[in-house]
Amino acid sequence: MNILFVDDEINILQGLKRMLYPFRNEWEMSFASSGDEALQMLEQTKFDVVVSDMCMPKIDGLQLLSKVKELYPSVVRIILSGYTEKDSMLNLPNVAHQFLSKPCDAAILKDSIERINRLRSFVNNDTIIHLIAGISTIPTLPDIYVKLQREINSPSASVKGVGEIISKDVAMTTKILQLVNSAFFGVSQKITDPVYAVNFLGFETIKSLALYVKIFSSLSFNDYNKFFAERVFQHSYLVGEVARKIIRSEIYDKATLDAAFLGGLVHDIGKLILLQTPDYTEKVNTCMQQEKINFVEAENKLFQTTHAEVGAYLLGLWGLPVSILEIAAFHHPPLTANDKELTPLVAVHLANLLLNKEVETSEKLKALYPDHKFIKNICANLESGALKIE
């Protein structure tokens, strides 16, 4: 992987060289002290990743990465900066795929870059890169998600603090309260305060919903696609809930439960992105009917990729854990001998099968996976009503 680091402060560049010296055998690294120099280097050399400071004279980080996006759309763009007005930066069009704050230690920087490297080989599809680069409304990782994550991970995390973050975003507050008062949750009395919503749903559910709701609201859909997008949203929420129930029936580990819910919530996010391409649903539906093939096969035939791969690639650019990327990428293919443990990926796959009526009875599910021991327990819970799919 070939990486270009850009910073106008020579001491910072020297510090980066020293910090990243242990990785010299893994990466090709180049360093530029200005936006102009970086653009000249990009003309001469093919780079996979550009990591730029924000505040630089003449051409700042956003201007540089905007140019990189225009001229080299397949290059991954990262801001590494101590710039404090992060809100305004993240509200601009999709320029940076990730934002890393200075000071950034070597482990965090290495992990971020290697995640992208794994993702590139994991998806390994230039079609996705160019498809995403050609869509003007691709959302960035919502800043509210970053703020919630920071608050939730702090030693002084509180329901009030999380509720206040939500309440500062009117659109988010409206959607969260709409969701918590919907039939999804079956609350006995109307909840009108974001703090009560946080208390009712829990930190991780709120954080996951904030991610999805903000992405959903940042995209634009015509009337036909809006109906399809709402169905995707509802289905995704139900898959997250059922996946969490499946995990809870076997394991009670909070991190695993949270990963199952988040994975279910974002497993179809690639569909929302592909809805930004002209006549996506019409083309896929027509292809399905004419070719007598399923939805994923039709996507692949039309786009040489699928919503699963598009979603995984985008989530990777945002820096979500590889385990969540894998859920997005592999929620359709059948389980294999490697999937003998009940993981969030397995739970989302099964939840998706059940909710899509791809298997209609527990007997069919057992017949589909006779060698997976946990399937027997899941089927028993389905038959007894302990696990409800709805």
The residue ranking higher by pLDDT, 33 or 106, is 33
**Helices first, then strands: H and E counts in the chain:** 21, 5
Q: What is residue 120's predicted lDDT score, i.e. its pLDDT?
A: 62
Q: Given phi > 0 = left and psi -120 to 50 = alpha, else beta, which region is 279?
A: left
d(CA 151, CA 167): 14
Q: What is the percent of the chain with per-residue pLDDT over 90, rounded to a whole number?
A: 24
- Say if residue 118 is in the same domain as residue 159: no
* H or E element that contains 199: helix 194-201
For the ranges 218-227, 261-270, 291-300, the lowest mean pLDDT is seen at 218-227
Q: Assign 38 a pLDDT band (cuts: 50, 70, 90).
A: very high
Q: Does the pLDDT of residue 23 top 70, yes or no? A: yes
Q: Is the pTM here over 0.85, yes or no?
A: no
- Say if residue 253 is in the same domain as residue 293: yes
ω into residue 321 within 30 of 0, thus cis?
Answer: no
For the ranges 106-110, 136-140, 217-221, the lowest mean pLDDT is seen at 136-140
Q: What is residue 197's predicted lDDT score, i.e. its pLDDT?
A: 84
d(CA 220, CA 204): 27
Average pLDDT score, the chain? 83
Q: Assign 42 a pLDDT band (cuts: 50, 70, 90).
A: very high
Residue 356 φ then ψ, to 5°:
-85, 0
Q: What is residue 314's predicted lDDT score, i.e. its pLDDT?
A: 83
The CATH number for 59's domain is 3.40.50.2300
- Say if residue 75 is in the same domain as residue 159: no
Hey, what are 389's tokens? 């799919």
- Residue 279: inside a domain, yes or no? yes
Q: What is residue 175's predicted lDDT score, i.e. its pLDDT?
A: 77
d(CA 288, CA 345): 27
Domain range for 263 is 143-384
Q: Does the pLDDT of residue 377 top 50, yes or no? A: yes
Count up the domains in the chain and report the number. 2
- Residue 131: inside a domain, yes or no? no
- Residue 217: inside a domain, yes or no? yes
- Say if residue 21 is in the same domain as residue 79: yes
Summarize the confidence of residues 261-285 as an average pLDDT: 90
pLDDT digits (tens, 9 = 90+) for 289-315: 999 999 999 999 998 889 998 898 888
- Say if residue 168 is in the same domain as residue 19: no
- Say if residue 104 is in the same domain as residue 152: no
Strands 76-81 and 28-32: unpaired
- Say if residue 100 is in the same domain as residue 163: no
* H or E element that contains 11: helix 10-20
d(CA 325, CA 42): 29
pLDDT digits (tens, 9 = 90+) for 241-259: 899 999 988 877 888 898 9
- Say if residue 6 is in the same domain as residue 100: yes
- Say if residue 100 is in the same domain as residue 217: no
pLDDT digits (tens, 9 = 90+) for 82-126: 765 544 444 444 577 777 777 777 877 887 777 666 666 555 567
pLDDT digits (tens, 9 = 90+) for 184-208: 666 667 888 888 888 888 888 888 8
- Which of 29-38, 228-237, 242-251 has maximum average pLDDT? 29-38
Summarize the confidence of residues 212-239 as an average pLDDT: 84
Q: Does the pLDDT of residue 37 top 70, yes or no? A: yes
Q: Which amino acid is at 220?
A: S
Q: Which of 61, 92, 124 is the last residue of a domain?
A: 124
Q: What is residue 86's predicted lDDT score, i.e. its pLDDT?
A: 46
- Residue 130: inside a domain, yes or no? no
Q: Given phi > 0 = left and psi -120 to 50 = alpha, else beta, which region is 319?
A: left
Q: What is residue 92's predicted lDDT score, i.e. its pLDDT?
A: 43
How far does the chain reach from its first CA to its final CA, in angstroms? 45
- Residue 34: inside a domain, yes or no? yes
Q: Which of 95, 124, 153 is the last residue of a domain?
A: 124
Sheet holding 28-32, edge to edge: 28-32, 2-6, 49-52, 76-81, 98-101
Q: What is residue 138's predicted lDDT score, i.e. its pLDDT?
A: 67
d(CA 231, CA 209): 16
- Say if residue 43 is in the same domain as residue 92: yes
- Residue 56: inside a domain, yes or no? yes
- Say if residue 263 is in the same domain as residue 360: yes
- Residue 50: inside a domain, yes or no? yes
- Residue 138: inside a domain, yes or no? no
Q: What is residue 267's predicted lDDT score, i.e. its pLDDT?
A: 94
The CATH number for 361's domain is 1.10.3210.10
Q: What is residue 290's predicted lDDT score, i.e. its pLDDT?
A: 95
CB-based contacts of 353, cutoff 8 Å, min separation 6: 359, 365
Q: Which of 75, 92, 124 is the last residue of a domain?
A: 124
pLDDT digits (tens, 9 = 90+) for 327-365: 998 899 888 766 778 889 999 999 999 998 887 778 888
- Say if residue 205 is in the same domain as residue 338: yes
